[in-house]
Structure 1
Amino acid sequence: MRIISARQAWHDSLHHNRDSVLAVAAQKAELGRKHGTGEGKVIVMLEDHDGQQVARTYKSRQKGDNVHETRPGRRLSTDQCAHMLAAGLIMQAIDTLPKPVQHFGHYLYSPTATFNDLSIAHGMVWLSSGLDKLTDKQRCRAYWMALAAIQSHKRIVSGGEELAPGEVCMIMEERTGCRINPSNWARDYAEVWAHLAKKVDGLDRTALRPVAEVVESLLSAEELSSNDYDRWIRQPGEKAA
């Protein structure tokens, strides 16, 4: 897991990479692990009734035998250990946030975001919008504009473009059933849209703050190889030796 930014760290902490077979084999070779089936037999020296030593050959356990044991897998590598530790620090930071803010961040950055995350994020933006003075008709449209503002922000932080006025109007039309003319955007909707976009950005900053602190602590450590486990066993904020 590479640490680049708070947004990337949030996403990658909930995403488990799978190394290639050759990469895992190289890791095991570096750690000095030896695995293999060998000849599949064990020779044991025993004594017969006359006290003479005789050799007995027994079949050894092979892969697929019904034996309860822990076998090494592709997850046992220094990279995976580093990933799990870094991910744990990030998830611990996320867990310090209020639950609704966690859902807001998960919708923006989690690889497994759900409709529940979006629903809670939408409610947070709308309840904190302060648009109570609008008329009923305006408030109905602004409510769905808040949903569009979240989706627009997610597109922006993912490297895309902000939703165009026509796209926002289409979202409102689909949910209100009323025809909305994009040509009236500057007059009727631009101010409300800018207000909602600012609210979404503020909530995003709140959600990222504890994660950014952990990321900054990790990045402040001396630059080491991504395979160097020592980089990750230091606690956030601890100075490199």
Structure 2
Amino acid sequence: MKIIGARQAWHDALHEHRPSALAVAAEQALIGKKSGSGDTKIMVMLENHDGQEVARVYEVRKEGVQETRSGRRLSESRCAHMLIAGLVLRAIDTLPKSLRHLGHFMYSPVATGNDLSIAHGLVWLGSGMESLTDRKKQRAYWMAMAALQSHKMMVNGGQGMGPGAVCMFVEDRTGEKMNPQNWARDWEEIWNALCTHVDKLDGQALKPVSAVVAAMREGSENDHEIAA
């Protein structure tokens, strides 16, 4: 598992990389090999702030470890992945429940409708839209979900929703016409406020994972300086 940034680390911590059936078979053959006791050094490849690959070495204790199945030991790459994933998941667990679900919706490869539902509630309850008229509030409620979807598209390398896409998104859920020609007059201010709010919550969700990534990068750079 290569550490590039907090968003990528969140995704990869919940994703097991197994590219093909042949790769799985090769890995199982490697796992099945017996090895000696003692500590095993695991090299983890990271990227520093300049985009250069650096290595961080961790020691994984094998002596005295109980096997749940005979002849099965984790390969070094699996150990490295589990080590980093454990640190990232522990950081995620420090977040309040609602922020965890928002982060899972944004970055988890196994995100569910429950993650979206809780994230939507978090965005809406803190959006400050209480002063809107009932009709505008109904549409703004679904615009909050659209803002989540739009932000997810952008942080994953795509383009966010434009006015036309947002209007169609809301129409599909309310059954009422929402004219994009009136966007600047009626909806642009609301949309911008919702998008800013989602971006702020995303930053809060990523904060503990970013700290883990920064600590691992700092450690890898220190190790690289010592080796040099």
TM-score scaled to structure 2, two decimals?
Answer: 0.77
What is the SS of the residue equivalent to 1:222?
A: helix
Which residue of the partner structure matches residue 71 of structure 2?
A: 71
Which residue of the partner structure matches residue 218 of structure 2?
A: 220
Structure label with greater radius of gyration: 1
CA contact (8 A) 2:124 2:144 kept: yes
CA contact (8 A) 1:165 1:185 kept: yes
2:124 to 123, 126, 145: 126
CA contact (8 A) 1:169 1:181 kept: yes
In structure 2, relative to structure 1, the CA distance for the partners of 1:69 and 1:193 (3 Å cut) is: closer
Query: For the residues of structure 1 that align with 2:153 and 2:175, how far apart are their CA atoms?
Result: 25
Matched, 1:24 2:27: yes
Query: For the residues of structure 2 that align with 1:170 and 1:90, how far apart are their CA atoms?
Result: 37
Q: 12-21 or 157-166: which moved more?
A: 12-21
CA distances 1:181-217 after superposition (whole Å, capped 9, x unpaired): 1111111110000000000000000000000000000
Moved over 3 A (4+): 21-29, 31-34
> How far 1:104 moved relative to its partner?
0.6
In structure 2, relative to structure 1, the CA distance for the partners of 1:71 and 1:117 (3 Å cut) is: same
Query: For the residues of structure 2 that align with 1:69 and 1:100, how far apart are their CA atoms?
Result: 37
Code of the aligned partner of 2:168: M
CA distances 1:71-127 after superposition (whole Å, capped 9, x unpaired): 236xx2111001101000000000000011100100000000000000000000000
Code of the aligned partner of 2:139: R
Code of the aligned partner of 2:206: L
In structure 2, relative to structure 1, the CA distance for the partners of 1:223 and 1:79 (3 Å cut) is: farther
1:189 to 182, 187, 190: 187
TM-score scaled to structure 1, two decimals?
Answer: 0.73
In structure 2, relative to structure 1, the CA distance for the partners of 1:215 and 1:69 (3 Å cut) is: closer
In structure 2, relative to structure 1, the CA distance for the partners of 1:10 and 1:69 (3 Å cut) is: closer
Query: What 5-or-longer segments of structure 2 have no aligned partner?
Result: 37-67
Equivalent residues, number: 193
Which residue of the partner structure matches residue 158 of structure 2?
A: 160
CA contact (8 A) 2:34 2:71 kept: no
Query: What 5-or-longer segments of structure 1 have no aligned partner?
Result: 35-67, 225-229, 232-238
Counterparts of residues 6-21 of structure 1 (less than 5 Å)? 6-18=6-18, 20=23
In structure 2, relative to structure 1, the CA distance for the partners of 1:91 and 1:21 (3 Å cut) is: closer
> How far 1:22 moved relative to its partner?
8.0
Query: For the residues of structure 1 that align with 2:101 and 2:226, how far apart are their CA atoms?
Result: 34
CA contact (8 A) 2:31 2:72 kept: no
> RMSD between aligned alpha carbons?
2.8
In structure 2, relative to structure 1, the CA distance for the partners of 1:202 and 1:240 (3 Å cut) is: farther
What is the SS of the residue equivalent to 2:220?
A: coil
Code of the aligned partner of 1:16: E
Instruction: Give the fraction of aligned pairs with identical amino acids, expressed as a percent.
Output: 54
